[in-house]
Structure 1
Amino acid sequence: MRRRAERRRKAAGDPIDTLTLQLRLGEIAREIQALAGSRGFAVAHHTRAAQAAYDALLAEACRRAGLPVEAPHLVTDRTPEAERLREELELASRGWSW
């Protein structure tokens, strides 16, 4: 019985790692929101970099939650908005928050 519980815990992932991932998603989301209202040199570059980091973290969160993850668009290396929204909604429906 103890081994079964340990295997289930390992399959679900370390809860501390999951919490860290959720916190990091929230930090990046806030950074993207702050960049949306700013002006200045290289804001577009920082916004793209932050969005790429967010998409990568979102994909990792989906993998941990057992959700399918689509590959980024091959031409632009960015996740389409509809896919990003689907992943966010699927995670939220499973109790994830950030």
Structure 2
Amino acid sequence: MALGLQIRLGQLAHELRDVQDDPGVYARAHHYLAAQGAYDALLREACRLSGLEVDADPLAAGLRSDEDERLREELELSARGWTW
């Protein structure tokens, strides 16, 4: 399960970079926000799986983590050996 989450986090991170780098993406802002929401939800799930303290409620559709929380979660997972 952890490996699957790492792979999917990597795919979503790549997708976010692609959308940022390509100004010609159709519905760019919508696509970016949807990918960011999916990334944040998976990041939160990875934190739970690793035993990190995160908000107990899953993110609802259309919601995203704030940048400080996202960075904290990424750093905590990285410190525990997660890569993506």
TM class by smaller structure: 0.7 to 0.9
- Aligned residue pairs total 81
Unpaired runs of at least 5, structure 2? none
Runs of 4+ more than 6 Å apart: none
The answer to whether the 8 Å contact 1:72/1:79 transfers is: no
Give the helix-richer structure, 1 or 2: 1
Instruction: Give the alignment's Cα RMSD to 1 decimal.
Output: 1.9
* Structure 1 gap ranges (5+): 1-16
Identity %: 56
- Matched position secondary structure for 1:68: coil
Q: Distance in 2 between matches of 1:57 and 1:78?
A: 11
Q: Which residue of 2 aligns with 1:31?
A: 15
Please report the TM-score for the alignment, with normalisation by the length of structure 2: 0.87
| Greater RCO (Cα-Cα under 8 Å, separation 6 or more) | 2
Of structures 1 and 2, the larger Rg is shown by 1
